[in-house]
Amino acid sequence: TATLLHDDVVDDSKLRRGSETINFKWTNLISVLMGDYLFAKSFRLMVSTGSLDLIDAISGATERVSIGELRQVEETSNYDLSEEEYLKIIADKTASLFSVSSEAAPILAGENGRIRNDFAVFGEKIGVAFQIADDLLDYVGDPKITGKNPGNDIISGKVTLPLIYSLRHSDKGKRRNILRMLSNGVSEEEFGLVLDYVTKSGGIDYTYRRAAEISHEGLSTINGLKDSEYHRSLLGMVDYSISRIS
């Protein structure tokens, strides 16, 4: 929650999941300070567990989130961004939190071997798939469901997988034209042209496939768990990570 409060300030977001953001309803100052408070509260709760391994894991994840967000800002409007670089950014800024959340239970249960690693990998994969799906929703999401208008990422210069794929798999003429439009800044009215380009270039379909592939990679790490309500809950996480775009 703390990272989302800060993220809404960075992105100047007005809505999150259909509700007004704290920074829009009040001010950026309130949103930042509330995020800081929640960070401090979370670390206080961590200390109460007495687990140095948990503190180390969550501290590492927090560091990765900051690195990922900084990299994303650094790569704004970088239309040469590769898929590999994009995946690294979202792994840090989003998947690190999924990973440490999944890893926390084995840590507190005293597991420090394969089981702990499997849960960490599971969370990382699901987090990456979740963020890929979230980025795809910026192109094809229903505003009534997502709570935000499509095209925000493109308009703000955020380069995500649908565009990355399309720029590398369309003919030079179309690529040159779309890059000219992007470099001049895309308006809400022009977003439809970008969406048409990305759709016809295969970027939408490819992004959906990658989200599904990576979520299934995560699923494979917990296939050995015995059936239980907890296992079924984890399977539900996998389904949810991509069901929003199906």
pTM: 0.85
Nearest Cα to 106, choosing from 97, 98, 95, 115? Answer: 115
Which pair of structure tokens corresponds to residue 75? 């790569």
Amino acid (1-letter code) at residue 191: F
List the single range of 6-20, 133-147, 174-188 with lowest mean pLDDT.
6-20
Cα-only R_g, the chain? 19
> pLDDT: is 175 or 27 the higher one?
175
d(Cα 64, Cα 45) in Å, to the nearest integer? 20
CB 193 within 8 A of CB 163: no
CB 86 within 8 A of CB 76: no
Q: What percent of the chain is predicted at pLDDT more than 90?
A: 48
The residues, ordered by sequence, that sit 6+ positions from 126 with a Cβ below 8 Å of its Cβ are 95, 98, 102, 215, 218, 237, 238, 241
What tens digit of pLDDT does each residue of 32-64 get?
887 788 878 877 887 877 788 999 999 899 899
Band of pLDDT at residue 84, cut at 50, 70 and 90: very high
Query: Would you give the DSSP letter of residue 158?
Result: -
Distance from CA of residue 7 to its chain's centroid? 11
Q: Is residue 245's pLDDT more than 70?
A: no
d(Cα 166, Cα 75) in Å, to the nearest integer? 17
Looking at residue 190, what is its pLDDT? 86
The full set of domains in the chain, from first to last, is 1-49 (no CATH), 50-243 (1.10.600.10)
What tens digit of pLDDT does each residue of 112-144 get?
788 899 999 999 999 999 999 999 999 987 777
Is the dihedral angle over the CA atoms 18, 12, 6, 139 positive or is it negative?
Answer: positive
Amino acid (1-letter code) at residue 138: D
Helices (H) and strands (E) in the chain, counts: 14, 2
Band of pLDDT at residue 176, cut at 50, 70 and 90: very high
Which pair of structure tokens corresponds to residue 222? 């917990």
